[in-house]
Homo-oligomer: A and B are copies of this chain.
Amino acid sequence: MSDRREFRDLASPAEAREAIDSLDLSPADETVSLDEARGRVLAGRIDAALDVPGFDRASMDGYAVRARDTFGADEADPAVLDQIGAVHAGAEPDVEVTEGTCAEISTGAVMPPGADAVVKVERTDEVDAGVAIRTSVAPGDAVMVAGADVAAGSRALGPGTLLTPREIGLLSALGVDEVPVRGRPTVGIVSTGDELVRPGGDLNSDAGQIYDVNSYTIAAGVEEAGGEAVLYPHAGDDYDEMERLLVEAAEECDLVLSSGSTSASAVDVIYRVIETEGDLLLHGVSVKPGKPMLVGRLDDSAYIGLPGYPVSALTIFQTFVAPAIREAAALPEPRTATVEGEMAVQERYGEGRTRLMPVGLVDDADGTRLVYPVDKGSGATTSLVEADGVVEVDADTAYLAAGEQVTVQLFSPDVRPPALFGVGEDDPALSRLLDHVSQPRYLDVGSRQGRRRLRDGVPDVAVVSGPSDRDLDAVELGGWTREWGLVVPPGNPDDVDGLADLVDRDLRFVNRAVDAGLRASLDAELERLADERDTDRRDLTDAIDGYDLTVKGFESPARKVLAGDAAVGLGLRETAETLDCGFVPLGTESVTVLADPDRAAKPGVESLQQALDTRLDDVVDSLSGYDA
């Protein structure tokens, strides 16, 4: 551990931006065909090489005439002209309009020689002697002369223009079928860390393997910023291979990203490669998170090392790297990249370095956008979807007050605040109901935390179950009941019969955490048993092996039982049936959906109400031990 690098001289965020700006990520310009040009940025000026239209063009259906032949004509005294032929769009005129004659003409057709105006068909009549013209026209009427739309030689589009459908329309009109555009910077992503396995691969949890979160996340961020992501194969713990991959990526890409390994030796390999093949510009930035960020040059390529934790990696990527990729691609920052909001709660902070604070967003009843900190720390990947973006808090800001205006840099310009924000108990019926609500966010924090957070005024709804000793000012949207009890291995090999078995026998148990409604229901049952035995609940819980062994999800105890880690788990009949376990029923508890009274009219809450009203019966019918 003594080899591990220390980041003593941390750079400021401004210095980090400067170092990144000094890198050259710009790819060469390229030529793309028009059907692939949307979203690209023009690399040079396009001047019109031809007139549009390329000929004097009739802009109405009617008759091509010599204007002077119509002078004086009106409804009362039409001019009658000989019709000498017809000209259709896309055809070369085969007639010449001479004095006293006219030619039928379609919109878009070439004006025949001799004609200098079009009389629209509504002001004419076919008569025996020819065509009666009931109005007089001036030369040029209803004619678009060649070049009147776009004149050859004129400036059509300039360099730096983002090509949207309308620009593609103008290029089409000019006959341009390929255009010079700014290249997309190629960004190589090298994943380091012995413990990482690509999604889809087999995971050996006993050996501490985890799925590689950052590679695909950052690749998606790179593409979103206008770059082209290249994922390099995972080098595992072969450091020669890692070195080879870094050098290869540097040769092939404009920018190489690695996301920090927790393995010290992997970091050392990166240092060694950069020091041999390149130039380390800075290591360590005074921001939280992101302290271990590296910036340097590797061969002719730029190199940036990101932190390892997913939220930190995405935060540092969006804050420092995405702007550099966009600039290299000449793309503007999307207008939806940031939103304004006000702090829903106060937040203290005083570490003396810039903080990139992950936050969630929720709209209150009157549409005010509230911002609340989300910081699970510890590298939780769920923070990725529980946060919408980050607020950059200055190093000298020690305190953000509730109500204070802040700017949120979204994790993606496509991120939208949830339409419904719920917290509380985890439950399979709820999970299915949420499928019928558009853009919900639901945090499984348990019933106790759910009640507390609803009281604090941040979420729209809380879903709670089990007994509670505190009243809550809330609107009840609906609810259902679920049967709970003890989940045991298939066939109930230990012949578990009830709670007393846990207390009296030597059975390894898995519990839920204190915030879970199921846990409160269990504790109430234990209280009852203690009363029966005229003893204290504490005496009973002390006797249960594993009472303090708690796991997170409603299925988790059952899964522990199935894995052979315990003999009995706290859970639902539904879970026992789904996972083919045995089940010893202990009771039925109510699950209730409570809304903040101020938010009851919010569309997302109404949408959940509608799901409860129309979908709940079907949902509970599909689950064992459920009732509406």
- Residues from chain B with a CB closer than 8 A to the CB of A380 are 144, 148-149
Q: Which chain B residues border A444 with CB–CB below 8 Å? A: 151, 154
Central interface residue in A55, A121, A199, A444, by most chain B CB within 10 Å: A199
Segment at the B interface, from A17-25, A86-94, A451-459, A498-506: A86-94
Contact residues in B for A193 (Cβ distance below 8 Å): 89-90, 108
Instruction: Tell yes or no: A167 within 8 A of B by CB.
Output: yes
Can you list 18 A-B pairs with a CB-CB distance of less than 8 A? A1-B104, A35-B219, A45-B431, A48-B553, A52-B381, A54-B209, A59-B379, A90-B263, A91-B194, A106-B264, A149-B381, A151-B551, A153-B554, A155-B442, A158-B437, A159-B435, A164-B224, A172-B216
CA gap between A416 and B177 in the complex, in Å: 24
B210–A148 touching, CB < 8 Å:
no
Contacting chain B: which of A239-247, A407-415, A518-526?
A407-415
Tell whether A434 is near chain B: CB-to-CB under 8 Å. Answer: yes
**A350 interface hit (Cβ, 8 Å):** no
Contact between B205 and A55, CB atoms less than 8 A apart = yes
Q: Are B151 and A556 in contact, CB atoms less than 8 angstroms apart?
A: yes
A301 within 8 A of B: no
Interchain CB contact under 8 A, B38 and A220: yes
B381 touches A220 (CB 8 A): no
A237 proximity list for chain B (CB < 8 A): 90
Q: Does A401 contact B (CB under 8 A)?
A: no
Contact of A54 among B50, B205, B412 (CB under 8 A): B205
A432-464 near B? 1/0 per residue, CB < 8 Å: 101101111010100000000000000000000
Contact B439 A160 (CB under 8 A): yes
Q: Give the top 7 A-B pairs by smallest Cβ distance, nearest first.
A: A151-B553, A177-B200, A153-B555, A54-B205, A90-B195, A90-B194, A169-B217
Beta-carbon contacts of A31-64 to B below 8 Å, as 1s and 0s? 0001101110000010110111111010101000
Chain B residue at minimal CB-CB distance from A149: B380
Residues of chain A in range 193-240 having any CB-CB distance to chain B below 8 Å: 193-201, 203-221, 223-224, 231, 237
B415 touches A52 (CB 8 A): no
| Contact A385-B151, Cβ < 8 Å, known A213-B173, A378-B59 | no
Q: List chain B residues, Cβ under 8 A from A155.
A: 426, 431, 434, 442
A358–B533 Cα distance when bound, in Å, is 83
Inter-subunit contact B106/A263 (CB<8 Å): yes
With A90-B195, A440-B158, A575-B153 as known contacts, state yes or no: A169 contacts B381, CB within 8 Å: yes
Which residue in B37, B434, B553 is a CB contact (below 8 Å) of A152? B553
- Asked if A164 meets B263 with Cβ closer than 8 Å, knowing A207-B90, A382-B149, the reply is no
Q: Does A72 contact B (CB under 8 A)?
A: no
Report whether A199 and B211 are in contact in the complex, using a CB–CB cutoff of 8 Å.
no
Interface of A is mostly: loop
Q: From residue A342, how far is it (CB to closest CB) to chain B in Å?
A: 19
Nearest B residue to A47 via CB reads B431
- Nearest B residue to A310 by beta-carbon distance? B169
Instruction: Count A interface residues, CB 8 Å.
Output: 142
Determine if A381 and B90 form an interchain contact, defined as CB atoms under 8 angstroms apart. no
Report how far A407 CA is from B237 CA in the complex, Å.
58
A628–B302 CA distance with the chains assembled, in angstroms: 42
Give A131 to B172 CA distance when docked, in angstroms.
75
Q: Which of B150, B175, B177, B214 contacts A382 (CB 8 A)?
A: B150
Cross-chain contact B426 with A154 (CB below 8 angstroms) = yes
Min C-beta distance of A158 to chain B, whole Å: 5
* Complex: A52 Cα to B551 Cα, angstroms: 12
Most buried by B among A4, A37, A219, A382: A382
Cβ–Cβ < 8 Å partners of A395 in chain B: none
Inter-subunit contact B90/A385 (CB<8 Å): no
A552 and B378 contact, CB distance less than 8 A: no
A95 at interface (Cβ–Cβ under 8 A)?
no
Contact between chains at B314 and A89 (CB < 8 Å):
no
CB of A10 closer than 8 Å to a CB of B: no
| Binary contact track A129-173/B, C-beta < 8 Å → 1, others 0 | 000000000000000111111111111011111101111111111
Besides A55-B205, A92-B206, 4 other A-B contacts (C-beta < 8 A): A151-B552, A164-B412, A170-B385, A175-B211
Bits for A69-108, please: 1 = Cβ < 8 Å to B, else 0: 0000000000000000001111110000000000010111
Taking CB atoms, residues of chain B closer than 8 Å to A385 are: 157, 166-167, 169-170
Is residue A325 contacting chain B, with contact meaning CB distance below 8 A?
no
A289 to chain B, nearest CB (A): 13
Q: Which of A528-578 contact B (CB under 8 A)?
A: 551-556, 559, 575
CB 8 Å contact bits of A391-428 with B (1 = contact, 0 = none): 00000000000000000000110111000000000100
A587 at the interface (CB under 8 A from B): no
Does A488 touch B at the CB level, under 8 Å? no
Are B199 and A147 within 8 A (Cβ)? no
- Contact call B92/A381, Cβ cutoff below 8 A: no
The answer to the question of A174 belonging to the interface, with a C-beta cut-off of 8 Å to chain B, is yes
Question: Quick check: is A514 within 8 A (CB to CB) of the other chain?
Answer: no
> Please, which residues of chain B bring their CB within 8 A of the CB of A150?
381-382
Docked-complex contact B158 and A51, CB < 8 angstroms: no
